[in-house]
């Protein structure tokens, strides 16, 4: 097997968090990869969008994501430092063709150095587009600082317009903070502000059209996300999930939806024009209409593991290389091979599908 100067296998998958037989079977030899700098895979895709998880911790407990008691958080020494994160982002942008960085988590605003990170990434020679996915708690008073630091866009998650439903869904009474975050983002010039919404049957699914009304009236871009099997409790089940078809039907009872000219354009959301436009709504049908063939993402967990897919069952360790004296060239090469091995699809709909060991909050949603 080919190894780097550090003895790290160039096509080995770290099995510690669930490297599976499937990953090993897909361990394509290094020699089969064309000599190109970008994060290409063997199915014709190229990753240009890097999702960076800044922490696995969160101040909400959304029922479809985390248990009420929280999780065993990653030990501090396993988390990448700001300097390590910046080095990896620099490699991704400078050598691997990444043009978009999205900070996420867990709740990324809980990371102390986040503003400094945004500033530093904004100063990279090939400055990437920078966005943030957040639950919005505490964002209202920091939005202007983020905009000044160079943040381009923000996605704020809000599943309901009702304070009580918010409490049921997130187990915290913070709905007003999220509404304020949306307003603060617009005031800071971070428009268009996107809202991410997950609908749960019998809890908030009756709010689909109200959420769209609310968003249109304020100029927010609403995107519904089908609930995915990435909850820590492994309780997801297909029949409970509100499907894209159901969401479309619920919206169509109040609005006329027509496929937008940029219906997908590389993004996961299928876009619809609402009542002739200009308003739009997105539906991310990861489960019922998978878009893996267009996927352009690579993921870095807060503890320095590359995942080539949200649903990958193996990870590639970059933290060990960073701390073991790996050079930028070596790290870039290992990252390229991690992506080259990417499977053609997430396999949620295969009978043999196994949910990844790490939940969404620890991977970075
Ligand atoms: N804490 C931040 C937030 O909630 O926006 C960022 C991380 S969160 C994991 C990112 C997005 O993933 C949120 O919009 C959240 O609603 C969504 N999400 C979490 N668990 C999910 C699941 N099981 N299925 C679909 N979306 C999920
Ligand atoms: Fe926290 Fe986001 Fe998960 Fe909700 S979805 S528990 S806000 S990480």
271-304 pLDDT, tens digit per residue, is 999 999 999 999 999 899 888 889 999 999 999 9
Asked if 53 contacts 105 with a C-beta cutoff of 8 angstroms, the reply is yes
Distance CA 82, CA 146 (A): 17
Q: How many domains does the chain divide into?
A: 1
230 domain residue, yes or no = yes
Q: Where on the phi/psi map is residue 105: left (φ > 0), alpha (ψ -120 to 50), or beta? A: beta
**Is residue 148 in a domain?**
yes
Q: How close is the Cα of 107 to the center of ligand 2, in Å?
A: 7
Domain range for 142:
14-363
Q: Any residues with CB less than 8 A from the CB of 184 and at least 6 apart, and which?
A: 139, 140, 141, 142, 143, 144
Cα 104 to ligand 2 centre (Å): 10
List all residues whose CB is within 6 A of at least one atom of ligand 2.
58, 60-62, 65-66, 105-107, 135, 157, 361
The two tokens of residue 89 are 């982002």
Please check whether residue 6 lies inside any domain of the structure.
Answer: no
Atom of ligand 1 lying closest to residue 229 CA: 23
Q: Is residue 88 part of a domain?
A: yes
* Owner of token pair 């895979």: 41
Asked if residue 227 has its Cβ within 6 Å of ligand 1, the reply is yes
Does the residue 191 lie in any domain? yes
> How far apart, in whole angstroms, are the C-alpha atoms of residue 232 and residue 254?
35
Q: Which CATH number belongs to the domain containing residue 302 in this structure? A: 3.20.20.70
Residue 3's pLDDT band (cuts 50, 70, 90): very low
Kindly report, residue by residue over 95-126, the tens digit of the pLDDT: 999 999 999 999 999 999 999 999 999 999 99
Q: How far is the CA of 364 from the centre of ligand 1 (A)?
A: 8
Whether residue 5 lies inside any domain: the answer is no
Best probe residue, ligand 2, of 54, 60, 178 (max atoms within 8 Å of C-beta): 60
Task: Confirm whether 229 is domain-assigned.
Answer: yes
- Average pLDDT (22-36) is 65
DSSP state of 30: G
Q: What per-residue confidence (pLDDT) applies to 291?
A: 84
DSSP code per residue over 39-85: EE-TTS-EE-EEEEE--S--S---TTT--TT---PPPGGGSPPHHHH
pTM for this entry: 0.92
- List, for residues 62-107, the tens digit of each pLDDT value: 999 999 999 999 999 999 999 999 999 999 999 999 999 999 999 9
Is the residue at 8 inside a domain? no
Q: Please tell me the number of the ligand nearest to residue 241's CA.
A: 1
CA-closest residue to ligand 2 atom 4: 62
């Amino acid at each position: 097997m080919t190894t780097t100067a550090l003895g790290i296998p160039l096509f080995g998958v770290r099995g510690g968090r669930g490297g599976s037989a499937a990953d090993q079977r897909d361990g394509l030899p290094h020699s089969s990869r064309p000599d190109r700098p970008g994060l290409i895979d063997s199915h014709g895709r190229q990753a240009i969008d890097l999702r960076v998880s800044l922490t696995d911790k969160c101040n909400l407990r959304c029922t479809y994501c985390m248990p009420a008691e929280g999780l065993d958080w990653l030990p501090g020494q396993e988390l990448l430092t700001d300097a390590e994160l910046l080095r990896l982002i620099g490699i991704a942008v400078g050598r691997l063709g990444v043009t978009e960085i999205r900070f996420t988590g867990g709740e990324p605003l809980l990371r102390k150095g986040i503003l400094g990170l945004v500033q530093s990434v904004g100063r990279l020679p090939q400055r990437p587009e920078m966005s943030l996915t957040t639950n919005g708690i505490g964002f209202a008073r920091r939005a202007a600082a983020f905009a000044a630091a160079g943040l381009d866009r923000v996605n704020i998650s809000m599943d309901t317009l009702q304070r009580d439903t918010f409490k049921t869904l997130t187990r915290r009474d913070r709905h007003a903070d999220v509404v304020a975050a949306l307003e603060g983002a617009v005031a800071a010039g971070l428009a268009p502000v996107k809202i991410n919404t997950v609908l749960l049957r019998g809890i908030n699914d009756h709010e689909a059209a109200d959420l769209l009304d609310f968003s249109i009236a304020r100029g927010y871009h609403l995107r519904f996300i089908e609930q995915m099997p990435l909850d820590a409790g492994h309780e997801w089940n297909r029949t409970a999930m509100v499907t894209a078809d159901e969401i479309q039907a619920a919206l169509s009872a109040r609005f006329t939806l027509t496929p937008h000219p940029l219906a997908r354009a590389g993004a996961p959301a299928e876009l619809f024009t609402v009542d002739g436009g200009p308003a739009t709504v997105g539906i991310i049908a990861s489960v019922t209409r998978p878009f893996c063939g267009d996927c352009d993402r690579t993921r870095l967990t807060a503890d320095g593991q590359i995942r080539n897919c949200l649903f990958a069952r193996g990870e590639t360790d970059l933290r060990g290389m960073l701390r073991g004296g790996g050079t930028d060239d070596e790290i870039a090469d290992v990252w390229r091979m991690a992506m080259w091995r990417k499977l053609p699809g997430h396999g949620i709909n295969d009978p043999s599908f196994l949910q990844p060991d790490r939940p969404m909050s620890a991977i970075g949603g």
